[in-house]
Each structure stands twice: as structure tokens, then as C-alpha cells.
Chain A
Amino acid sequence: MPSPCNRVILAAAGSRKTQLIIDGALEAPGRRTLITTYTTENLAQITRRLQEVTGIVPGNISLLGWFSFLVNQAARPYQAALIGQIDYIQSLNFTGQRFHRTPREQWRRFYFDRDANLYRDGVADFACRVDDASGGAVVRRLAAMYDRIYIDELQDLVGYDLDFLDRLFQSGIEIIAVGDPRQHTLSTNNSTRNKQYRGAGLIGWLRKRQDRCTVETRAESWRCNQQICDWADAIYPTMTPTKSHNDEWTGHDGVFTIARDDVHTYVAKYRPMVLRHSRTTDTMGLPALNFGLSKGSTYDRVLIFPTKPMLAYLKNSDPARLKASDRLYVAVTRARHSVTFVVDRRDATYAMPPPDAELHSG
């Protein structure tokens, strides 16, 4: 049954996505609510923030990681319908992969390792097939357990996750999914299924499901100032421009470049959070955080050691040629006030000015 209650909220960085989930879950004390998201870090953060409001997580709210949800509540209950035996599934094999030429019909080798753990690439696929084999019992059971399911960081769901989500959309459960396609830095699996709907492609997938969910856009940021919003928006020109609610003026606001020679002086003065691509990046001895890990966090200022494609983008401003645009977007949108890129030398061809004026006037 199509449910007009399903909502997908595509929200810019700093638009208080998680707060929306916390508020929504707490305002409905009678509803049996599940909150799920891919990463354990995010799940822990949601749990902590719920506890900050209510002391303990209310009894009607369950929190499950996406894989716990899939394995324990979708794959396991009706496993017998597909594989003909009960008590077979042990747990999840997160790191291993099936031999790539195993045919899908050989379920034991296709979905499971030798210890009967589900390969992560196959979990959602398996869940969908069990649902089919059981005549929809998997989703019916979930519908009996939950009135509402919140999914945070929707953009992390890929492959067969989307097929399972489609089933949830049609289950009668009220699904509220929140995410930002621009922040697609992680994926639950590496399945080739639905490849075209990864990242910004998610919007295309949602567009085809207007009969079963409404899509809202929250193009506003309580975190980044307008200059940062505009700069980040330029990476995804097709998406709605973001309106900033941060008009605090610090004297060093916006997006800048700085030469390597000036980095230590700059760091001493502004104490930014240093962000890098990976631990192999040379950050001139400064302690730093990987782009991917910075997701969800807020800092006053960030100093970015850009990758080569990012450096190119700083000059040509052409998002079509930019790889890993999601990482750049995540890195830039961590900052409230200022984003500064480390470049080799002062060069007027960069699209942004150096923060020299501020650097020397202070």
C-alpha cells in the first residue's frame, strides 16, 4: 500500500538534520519508532543526544545500526523461507567478499561465508529475496513492530538497500529518511546494483518514487556563513542554493587560500581544524582529521590540505572535472566562519583570495 506519509528530507550540511530526527521521535511518545543509520558513530551520537533530552532513551524508541536492522530484523526471521532451514544465519561478515563469479542461485556460497555469516554486499539483497520467498512476511512483521522508521544519512544506502527501502516505503510504516546526496562519502556496500543512484544520483531514484514519498529540500544552514554556503553550493550547481542563518562576523570569514610558507603563522593565529584526504597527506606536522571522518562535526575554522583534483578545482571552478566532490563538500561545510586551502605558493590564478589582509593586520 503506498503511503503518502513517507518523507525524504534532503538537507544541506548544518541544516540540523539530526535534530529533526530527535525532535520528531520524541514528540510521538505513543509511536513505536525505530531510528537507524549506517555508522555506529552516528548512531551513538543520536543516542547521546536523545539521552541529553530525556535522560534515558524512551521505551518506544529503538536504535539499530542499518546492518543490525537488516541482519536481525530482516534477514534472520524468515531465513527458512529462502534457505529451507532455521538457525542458519550467524552474523555479518563486514570485510570479506564472495568469490566474484559465484552464481546467485548458489545461495550458500553467494550470501554466506564458511561460518554462515552474511557477506555485507549481499545482506539487503538477501533480505529482499527472503521477503519475496516468505510472501512479504519480512516487511509485514516490521510493519507490526514499528509505526515509524527514521533513517539518517540516507545517502549512505546504496545497492539493494534501495530495493529494501522501496519495500519499506510500501509497508504502511511511516518512513522518514534524512540525508544529503552531496555528503555521500560512505557506502553500506559495494554492490553494482543501482549504481546510477549513488551520490547525487539518489535524487533521480527518489524522483521515480513520487507516488510513495514526498521529497523536501532543506536548503538552509545554521552552521556555515553565506560565503561558505555559496562556495560549497557551486560544487553541486544543480541542487538548490543554500541560505545561511549564520551572520556572525569574526573579521576572517569566507573561503581563502594560503601559501605553505604562511601555514604555521596562520595556524597560530586562527587555530583551525586541519583536514586532510588521508594519513599519507603531508600536513606539515600538524595534527589532522580525514575528510570522511569529519562528517557530522562542526568547527569554527578549517584548514584543508587539498588533493590534486581539488587544487585543480580551486583554479578552474569546474565541478564536472572534480572527482570526490562529496569529500570536498563535506570538508568545506564543516566550518562556521572560514575555510582556508593550503596551496604551494601565492598565485593570483586561484579563484579565492589569500587571507593576507587579515593575516597581517592582526
Chain B
Amino acid sequence: MLKKIVIKNYKVFRDFVLDLAPGMNVVVGDNAVGKSTLLEAVNLALTGRLNGAALAVELSPFLFNLDAARAYVQALQRGERPVPPEILIEVYFDDVVEHAHLKATNNSLREDVPGVRIRVSFNEDFREEYDAYVADPAQVTTVPAEYYKVDWLSFSGNSVTARGVPATASLIDATAIRLQHGADAYLQTIIGSNLEPNERVELSRSYRSLRETFSGIDAVAAVNEKLAGERGDISDRRLTLSIDLSQRSGWERSLVPHLDDLPFPYVGKGEQSTLKILLALNRKKVKDTHVVLIEEPENHVSFSRLNLLIDKVVQKCAGKQVLVTTHSAFILNKLGLDELVLLSPEGGHRITDLPPSTVEYFKKLPGYDTLRLVLARQAILVEGPSDELIVQRAYLDVHGKAPIRAGIDVINVRGLSAKRFLDLAVPLRRRVAVVNDNDGDPQKMAAKYADYARYEFITIHIGKGDPTTLEPQVLAANGLERMNQVLGTSYPTETALLKFMLDNKTTWALAVAESPETIIMPEYILDAVAL
């Protein structure tokens, strides 16, 4: 089991630490915060490979953190002699006796635990060339990766090989489906690792005998007879056609998985990624730790299929460690909000103390857009679409820009779920304003939120005075004439106008939202958008 990840100077991560949960880890975060890079880094530390090739081959200046590279270049240009930045990715395992050979304190945290690390550092063998290169700092614009070496080590300080690492990783990147020789390399790896050694031997033996049979077929023999007769035109040697029998072209490269007789590459992308995920989860090796890294499973998958897929993932992942990145609140809710890891370039915020009933609530009602609350800088929770429109407009009137441009998300949460959202806001310490009708009893309504109001980052804004809901509140604030003017209506009495507004909630709210005219916003709404 992986306990912790440390990343230094790799891509977006300059100095990153993340604790992992034993089971599911649902990694969410804004774009460019490093979700894919995190999975890539874990896979790299466990396999020594990047994009399917040894890291030493893939080494380039672009792997280094930009800030670290810049600091290095600037120091050079100031005439200093900075140490070329190092990339470090460390994976900490749980301290069990089976991993003792990987244990000791050769890690950046000096913890006495088992683990593996990949280190990309300056190679002293190139000292002379390097010194000559940096003698003219003006020509140095980036990290000179060509003078670097890659070490794959355990925390005992000794080199490790893929065989010596007790954890394997399956990186399932459904966003990029690469095709190579029929089926792609990912899939081949996953299929290959599902087969027992004897099954693999049997498969490659059968494949070889199939190829041998081919050349024995009469028609093929006749063709070869003919080709052999044309000697001299191309070469003096005998030319025949045969299937490649060399080691390089084993079944892995030639056999293509079929779904219902359809070759895998011709199956829809959604089905391809679904199948990959399920195959990876099917691995049965008992002894080694197996970490499943799934990148954005929602890609290419329709909503109904996603539901099925996530159910299967949950079912198959019992007892497995999984890292999933996602942009989908649906996936987050289904997998469990308590497994959420909110990623930042420094680390991950994991929420604890989320009431189990709330986790269950969102599992059952996964349609709620919890992720918006998680990712927003601030949120305003409102009760319905008309409230949403009015609050948006109120914000625009006060601040001169739409709330979303300030990272403030106005989320319509309907009735009971408001408190569930607040349960989520508490561990995240997310600044939230709740806008609520008083429903005729402001005190009772305030009491409903009393548990949350005690947090300084949560404010509750309840309609003041007699008007029970938004419509009478707005009408009371602006009067009959003004509202008729803004809405383009000509109701004779407030009662008639109010009836219209209550019967056409989104219509009037939309008219206000889009009107060139500004209305007077009820006080509690102004309070809410003042944050």
C-alpha cells in the first residue's frame, strides 16, 4: 500500500507532499493543478518508465519545474554557481516486513519506512563539459538535462529493478488512446498482466504454430514457388513470403482483442476506456501491492454507461488502492465525498470529519454538483433558479463583474441539500454564503442553520421582515410601478403582479437579470453578495 507521495521539481510540482488513503482516492482540482502529473509521477516512481520508455530516454528540460529552472538560470546569470535542480519522486509504502529490503531513511523526509524513489540529478561524470557550458551563462536558458542521470533507488539507498518493487501500477489514461500495432500498448500490458505465466506460454506457442501452418497452405506454397522462380530480378537469393517468426513479433503485437467480433480499435472510445479500466481492476495477483491509476474515467463515456462503470469500479476496488482523477461531480459523489483529495501544487487537502450520512446522501443523489463547491474560491448557495438569477445580477450590480469571474460560484441547491453542501464546506473551510427565504418564520429558519453559522467562513442570509419569499421581497423593495416598468408588465395591483411573478418565477427573474434597468435588491441579498 502507498502511504505518501513526495514530488520535487517535477513539472507543476515544486515541493509536493500528499498522504494517500488505503482505498479510494478521488483527486479533483482545477485545470493545470497537476492531476495528470500526479498519476504520471506515481507510475514513474513505481515503474521507472515515462510514456512507456525508460525515464533516461525521455529526459528533457520540460520535465523540470519551471520555477526551479528559472531560479537556476537566474542564479547562473547573476554569476552564482547554483546546484542544477534535481527531480525527485518518492513513494512511501506501509511498513510491513515484506518490504524490509526497501526500508531505511534514504528519503527526503528521513522517515524510516520502505519506499522507492526516482531521482534525476546532475551527473558528476559530465563536470568538465558542464563547467564549460555554464562558463557563458548567457547561453543557458534552461536546465541542461543532457548532463543528468536517472537513479531508481529504494529507501535503503540501493538501486531497484522493476522486479524488486513490490507495488505495480496500472495507469489508465482514457483521455489518450494510442494505437500501436493493432491494439495499444496499455491494453497489451493489462491483458498480459492478467494472464498466468503458463497461459502466456501456451498463447505464444499456439500463435507460433499458427504461423507455421500458414506457410504450409497450398496457395501460399504456390505463391512462394512462383516468387522463388523470379530469382535475379531483385536479389540472387531465394525470395519467399512468410509470417514474421522473429521474437519481436509475438502475439502481443499481432493479436488484437475483439469485442463482439469488432476489433478493439474500431470499438467506440467510450467502450475502449471502460474495458481498459475494468481489465486493470481485474488483476488477481495477490502478493504484490497493486495501485490502479485512473485518469478521468468520464471521458468518452455516456452518462448511463458511466453509472455502470463507476458501480463496477467501486465493487472491484474493494481492497485495492485506487487514484482517480476526475472533473465529474457525479463520479466524486458516487465514489464517496469522504475519499476526496483536493489537489494543489503543494499537496492535497483531504477532508475528514464529513458526516457519513452526507457521504451517503450524495452517493444516492450523485447529480448534485458538489465539485463546484469544492473548486470554487467562494460559493453562494441559493434555493432555486430565480434566486440564482437575482443573486448573480445583484453581484454584478455591486461589483461590476459576474461572480464567476471572481471565483464565486452561485449554486442552486434546492431545499434540504443546502445543509449537506454546508457539511462539505466545513472541512474545506470554504467561504459560503447561504441565501434563504424566511418562509414566514425567520427565527425558525435561522435556527435551522445555527450549527453552521458559528463558522466564521459561513454566513446565513435570510429574508427580512414579513415577505416570506424572494418575489414579495423584491416587490416590496421596488414597488408596483418600478417592477411593472422593469418587467415590461402593467399589472394594476401588487397582488396581481405578485401572482404573475410567483407563477412565472424564472421569467421575471430572467427579465430582471437581463434588464438594462437596475432594481433595488432586498437587503439580505445585498448582504450575501457583499462578501
User: Residue B100 at the A interface, CB < 8 A?
Assistant: yes
Complex Cα gap A145–B114 (Å) = 12
Complex Cα gap A134–B156 (Å) = 13
Do A145 and B105 touch (CB < 8 A)? no
Do A77 and B110 touch (CB < 8 A)? no
Do B156 and A80 touch (CB < 8 A)? no
User: Residue A203 at the B interface, CB < 8 A?
Assistant: no
Do A76 and B112 touch (CB < 8 A)? no
State the Cβ distance, A38 to closest chain B Cβ, in Å. 20
Contacts known (A76-B158, A137-B112, A144-B97); A86 close to B103, Cβ less than 8 A: no
Contacts known (A80-B110, A144-B100); A73 close to B105, Cβ less than 8 A: no
List residues of chain A with CB within 8 A of the CB of B119.
87
State the Cβ distance, B155 to closest chain A Cβ, in Å. 8
List residues of chain A with CB within 8 A of the CB of B345.
none
Do B103 and A79 touch (CB < 8 A)? no
Q: Mark A236-250, 1 if CB is under 8 A from B, else 0.
A: 000000000000000
User: Residue A72 at the B interface, CB < 8 A?
Assistant: yes
User: Residue A141 at the B interface, CB < 8 A?
Assistant: yes
State the Cβ distance, B445 to closest chain A Cβ, in Å. 59
Q: Mark B97-117, 1 if CB is under 8 A from A, else 0.
A: 100110111111010100000
Within B231-280, the residues touching A (CB, 8 Å) are none
List residues of chain A with CB within 8 A of the CB of B155.
77
Do A80 and B103 touch (CB < 8 A)? no
- Chain A residue total in the interface (Cβ 8 A): 16
Do A87 and B106 touch (CB < 8 A)? yes
User: Residue B84 at the A interface, CB < 8 A?
Assistant: no
- Smallest Cβ-Cβ distance to A137: which chain B residue: B112
User: Residue A154 at the B interface, CB < 8 A?
Assistant: no
User: Residue B157 at the A interface, CB < 8 A?
Assistant: yes
Contacts known (A81-B105, A141-B103); A72 close to B110, Cβ less than 8 A: no
Contact of A80 among B97, B100, B106, B158 (CB under 8 A): B106
Contact of A76 among B106, B107, B108 (CB under 8 A): B106
Within B99-158, the residues touching A (CB, 8 Å) are 100-101, 103-108, 110, 112, 119, 155-158
- Smallest Cβ-Cβ distance to A135: which chain B residue: B112
Complex Cα gap A73–B110 (Å) = 17
List residues of chain A with CB within 8 A of the CB of B101.
145
Complex Cα gap A144–B98 (Å) = 8
State the Cβ distance, A346 to closest chain B Cβ, in Å. 61
State the Cβ distance, B293 to closest chain A Cβ, in Å. 27
User: Residue A78 at the B interface, CB < 8 A?
Assistant: yes
- Smallest Cβ-Cβ distance to B98: which chain A residue: A144
Contacts known (A86-B107, A137-B112); A79 close to B100, Cβ less than 8 A: no
Contacts known (A72-B158, A77-B157); A144 close to B106, Cβ less than 8 A: no
List residues of chain A with CB within 8 A of the CB of B100.
141, 144-145
List residues of chain A with CB within 8 A of the CB of B107.
86
List residues of chain B with CB within 8 A of the CB of A79.
106, 157
List residues of chain A with CB within 8 A of the CB of B97.
144
List residues of chain A with CB within 8 A of the CB of B105.
77-78, 80-81, 86, 134, 137
Identify which of B110, B119, B156, B157 gathers the most chain A CB atoms within 10 Å of its CB. Answer: B157
List residues of chain B with CB within 8 A of the CB of A134.
105
Do A137 and B157 touch (CB < 8 A)? no
Identify which of B100, B108, B119 gathers the most chain A CB atoms within 10 Å of its CB. Answer: B100
Identify which of A72, A89, A141 gathers the most chain B CB atoms within 10 Å of its CB. Answer: A141
State the Cβ distance, A168 to closest chain B Cβ, in Å. 15
Complex Cα gap A76–B160 (Å) = 14
Do B112 and A86 touch (CB < 8 A)? no
State the Cβ distance, B102 to closest chain A Cβ, in Å. 10
Contacts known (A86-B110, A137-B112, A144-B97); A76 close to B156, Cβ less than 8 A: yes
- Smallest Cβ-Cβ distance to B124: which chain A residue: A115
Complex Cα gap A47–B110 (Å) = 36
Q: Name A residues whose Cβ lies closer than 8 Å to a Cβ of B.
A: 72-73, 76-81, 86-87, 89, 134, 137, 141, 144-145
In the complex, 11 of the A-B residue pairs with CB atoms within 8 angstroms, ordered by the A residue number, are A72-B158, A73-B156, A73-B158, A76-B157, A76-B158, A77-B157, A79-B106, A80-B105, A80-B110, A81-B105, A86-B108
New A-B pairs, 15, CB < 8 Å, besides A76-B104, A144-B100: A76-B156, A76-B158, A77-B103, A77-B105, A77-B106, A77-B155, A78-B105, A79-B106, A81-B105, A86-B157, A87-B106, A89-B157, A134-B105, A141-B156, A144-B103
